[in-house]
């Protein structure tokens, strides 16, 4: 049994995916086989209910110069961040000389709107490469990890932050105690710390097992985030459900007693109790579902191969590393994957070494079936690839179960 990184309680393991590679380590043919592997296993704290990984991957191996993810790669995510930035400009950033800090600012998609409005801002991201994309658009970026020491330096140079924002980043940080100490040092008395992340309730309901990978050290629920905030001297004041990434939650955290707590917090606490998100039986069912999905997906791919059908992967996502390597999918079943991210093209997927090709390869010619690893963007992708369906192509999805559309 492991010790909880939040409260020190006991973490009970509920699933072991075996040896897995770093999810965003897309290798070249020359460096194939040199990847770092670790044991990917998840458990739940019996005290604070935080779902977390049992083994931490060194942060430098996950977030580095060649980190390939780009926020602007999806028009849906671009619009999502722009809309929330505008909302903040009308509310939390409407005072005199407001200041916003973003943890994991990536290519500056979120802060660009604040910058254009003339707002003081700072992005903090350890990847210099994505930081350069943001700087090219006029966004101010500090190439660094956000932790207590860097937060104190920011506070000394820029003053307190009215908003600290983090989207799909805080759950990546195993040393989250240092993040909250940093937030305490940097946040203005009435400021807010806003976290957006994949929602545990949606992951369990959808059997979205591929959301468990190295970068997602924690899987947040309203219950566990509320307890986490309390442990570190803060208060959860709102929980807003989001549709992005297959189901996410926007948590607003502040200093205790400074703001009224939204009724949504109590509503979600009650809902999660009803869902059994603290019950071992919920995670046993989840584990059974993962094994079933893996078996059925491989059986379908083997059947299609036996029938002479062609199958191509679509979306070389970070989470696809879990699905591909746990299910044992290789080039015999999926010869290549198409992805629009230039940094991934011409490389091989982590572990399984499936070639990643540019989107143009998808229609040259169209395959009979496309295995959609980027299932959380299904609506956007299927609309974009309408010609594939018109040519008789079919999509294979494995969330919430294996099915063809």
Give, for all 405 residues of the chain, the pLDDT tens digit. Answer: 799 999 999 999 999 999 999 998 899 999 998 899 999 999 999 999 999 999 999 887 876 555 555 555 578 888 999 999 999 999 999 999 999 999 999 999 999 999 999 999 999 999 888 888 899 999 999 999 999 999 999 999 999 999 999 999 999 999 999 999 999 999 999 999 999 999 999 999 999 999 999 999 999 999 999 999 999 999 999 999 999 988 999 999 999 999 999 999 999 999 999 999 999 999 999 999 999 999 999 999 999 999 999 999 999 999 999 999 999 999 999 999 999 999 899 999 999 999 999 999 999 999 999 999 999 999 999 999 999 999 999 999 999 999 999
Q: Which two tokens stand for residue 277?
A: 């998100």
Distance CA 274, CA 95 (A): 41
How many structural domains does the chain have? 3
84: nearest Cα among 141, 161, 146, 167:
167
Distance CA 373, CA 350 (A): 14
Look at residue 302 and tell me if it is in a domain: yes
Give the model's pLDDT for residue 328. Answer: 98
Task: Identify the domain boundary among 229, 259, 289.
Answer: 259
Question: Does 46 lie in the same domain as 177?
Answer: no
Look at residue 57 and tell me if it is in a domain: no
Give the model's pLDDT for residue 65. Answer: 56
pTM of the prediction? Answer: 0.93
With left for phi above 0 and alpha for psi between -120 and 50, is residue 326 left, alpha or beta?
A: alpha
Look at residue 60 and tell me if it is in a domain: no
Look at residue 264 and tell me if it is in a domain: no
Give the model's pLDDT for residue 268. Answer: 98
Task: Evaluate the CA torsion angle 351, 355, 359, 363 in order and state its sign.
Answer: negative
Give the model's pLDDT for residue 55. Answer: 96
Question: Does 303 lie in the same domain as 221?
Answer: no
Question: CA angle, corner 42, sides to 214 and 282, nearest 5?
Answer: 135
Task: Evaluate the CA torsion angle 94, 99, 104, 105 in order and state its sign.
Answer: positive
Q: Say if CB 190 and CB 24 are below 8 A apart.
A: no
Residue 29's domain spans which residues?
A: 2-51
Per-residue exposure over 363-398, b if at least 16 CB sit within 10 Å of its own CB, e if not = eeebbebbbbbbbbbbeebbeebeebeeeebebbbb
Question: Does 80 lie in the same domain as 45?
Answer: no
Question: Does 110 lie in the same domain as 244?
Answer: yes
Question: Does 247 lie in the same domain as 286?
Answer: no
Look at residue 271 and tell me if it is in a domain: no
Look at residue 81 and tell me if it is in a domain: yes
Q: Which two tokens stand for residue 331?
A: 């080039």
Give the model's pLDDT for residue 272. Answer: 98
Question: Does 120 lie in the same domain as 217?
Answer: yes
Give the model's pLDDT for residue 60. Answer: 79
Question: Does 132 lie in the same domain as 84?
Answer: yes
Give the model's pLDDT for residue 34. Answer: 86
Give the model's pLDDT for residue 62. Answer: 79
Question: Does 181 lie in the same domain as 88?
Answer: yes
* 402 beta partners: none
Give the model's pLDDT for residue 33. Answer: 85
Question: Does 316 lie in the same domain as 198?
Answer: no
Phi and psi at 360, nearest 5°, equal: -60, -25
Question: Does 95 lie in the same domain as 239?
Answer: yes
Question: Does 77 lie in the same domain as 39?
Answer: no
Distance CA 152, CA 146 (A): 10
Task: Identify the domain boundary among 203, 227, 259.
Answer: 259
- Torsion angle in degrees (nearest 10) through CA of 137, 138, 139, 141: 110
* 338 beta partners: 314, 357
Look at residue 83 and tell me if it is in a domain: yes
Give me the CATH number covering residue 240.
3.40.50.150
Look at residue 246 and tell me if it is in a domain: yes
Question: Does 203 lie in the same domain as 106?
Answer: yes
């Amino acid at each position: 049994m492991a010790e909880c990184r939040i409260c020190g309680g006991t973490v009970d393991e509920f699933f072991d995916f075996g040896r897995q590679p770093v999810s965003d380590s897309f290798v070249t043919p020359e460096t194939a086989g040199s990847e770092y592997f670790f044991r990917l296993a998840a458990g739940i704290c019996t005290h604070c209910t935080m779902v977390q990984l049992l083994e931490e991957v060194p942060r430098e191996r996950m977030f580095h110069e060649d980190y390939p993810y780009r926020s602007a790669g999806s028009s849906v995510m671009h619009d999502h961040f722009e809309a929330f930035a505008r909302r903040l400009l009308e509310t939390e950033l409407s005072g005199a000389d407001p200041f916003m800090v973003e943890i994991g600012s990536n290519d500056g998609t979120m802060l660009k709107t604040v910058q254009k409005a003339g707002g003081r801002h700072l992005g903090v991201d350890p990847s210099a490469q994505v930081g350069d994309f943001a700087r090219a658009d006029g966004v101010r970026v500090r190439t660094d990890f956000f932790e207590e020491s860097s937060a104190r330096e920011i506070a000394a140079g820029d003053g307190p932050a009215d908003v600290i924002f983090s989207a799909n980043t805080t759950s990546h940080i195993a040393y989250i105690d240092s993040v909250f100490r940093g937030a305490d040092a940097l946040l203005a008395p009435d400021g807010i710390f806003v976290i957006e992340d994949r929602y545990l309730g949606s992951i369990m309901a959808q059997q979205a097992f591929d959301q468990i990978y190295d970068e997602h050290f924690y899987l947040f629920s309203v219950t566990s985030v509320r307890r986490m905030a309390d442990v570190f001297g803060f208060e959860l004041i709102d929980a807003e459900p989001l549709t992005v990434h297959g189901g996410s939650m926007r948590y607003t955290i502040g200093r205790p007693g400074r703001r009224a707590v939204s009724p949504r917090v109590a509503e979600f606490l009650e809902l999660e109790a009803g869902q059994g998100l603290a019950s071992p039986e919920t995670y046993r069912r989840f584990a059974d579902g993962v094994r079933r999905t893996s078996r059925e997906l491989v059986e379908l791919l083997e059947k299609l191969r036996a029938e002479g059908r062609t199958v191509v992967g679509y979306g070389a996502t970070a989470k696809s590393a879990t699905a591909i390597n746990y299910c044992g999918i290789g080039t015999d079943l999926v010869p290549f994957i198409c992805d629009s991210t230039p940094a991934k093209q011409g490389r091989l997927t982590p572990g399984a070494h499936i070639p990643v090709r540019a989107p143009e390869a998808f229609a040259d010619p169209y395959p009979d079936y496309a295995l959609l690893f980027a299932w959380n963007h299904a609506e956007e992708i299927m609309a974009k690839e309408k010609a594939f369906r018109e040519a008789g192509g079919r999509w294979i999805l494995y969330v919430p179960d294996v099915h063809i559309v």
